[in-house]
Structure 1
Amino acid sequence: MQNQTIVGNSEMLIQALGRWPLFHDARVVAGSRTSDTQSVSLHVFNMTDRVDEQGHFELERHHRVEFIFSGVEKNTLPIDYSDDCLDSLTFAKLDERPDSKIIAVFSSHLDADGEIICERVELVSVAPCSALGESTSFSASV
């Protein structure tokens, strides 16, 4: 099953970026945890095929997004999860049953890999931001 079909409200991010991202080089802005819930806020963007004067790929469509993981059964993310740079973020069902648990795998560039096994994943906000991940005035949320 495709990543975005597992995540509730995924269409908000697809609309903002024009596609479902790989979350490569996405920055973890903040995370918080309760006994059975985890929230994670990320700074995401599109990488273009254009290169700037310093030889870096140009980035566009910067957004801050927040995911809520509910019914968490396993969580190997650090308690104060933030300041990470992701290699990727993937979502998958553990099996083919309609009520199957979801696994979210956070692959880190900074050796902070982790995973969450939960009942639901919802995208609760998508907001344009600066190239540094700082909030601007508009946001779409559920």
Structure 2
Amino acid sequence: MQPADGINLHSPPPKLKFEKLSAYKKRKLSHSTVNDTSPPTYQISSRAEESDNSSVVEPDKNLMAEYVDFVKVKPTKKEEVLRILNKKDVTSPKFFQLDSITREDMSHWGLNPGIIAQLRDNIKKFEKHLTPQ
């Protein structure tokens, strides 16, 4: 979205419509912010909304290797897959949730459809696997 003259955080565009909340919804929102000290989260319209709404992904050298092991990429293909992902600066499985990285893009990188499916379809399972229980 390109910035426009006269439009900023304190002077929104006239087309922006505000939603009036009922008293119930206001109480519910204020109640959740009292008990939850984390900042409010905002919805984004993409597959990324299924993630934890983190805006920055911290790179971890071993995370992608662990993910490739988790999705059971054949050992004969593992090094090549990791090399491709490293070359494309993919540092987290969450990248595969983004609409900006398509299956077609991944195919052009040199990944075959089976590996693409494994990488894109197991993100939630992997996140659960990482979560301490």
TM-score above 0.5, yes or no: no
Which category of TM-score, normalised to the shorter sequence, fits these structures? Answer: under 0.3
TM-score by length of 2: 0.26
Which protein has greater RCO, CA pairs closer than 8 Å, 6+ apart? 1
In terms of fraction of residues, the more helix-rich structure is 2
More strand by share: 1
Could you state the TM-score of these two structures normalised by the residue count of structure 1? 0.25
Is the radius of gyration larger for structure 1 or structure 2? 2
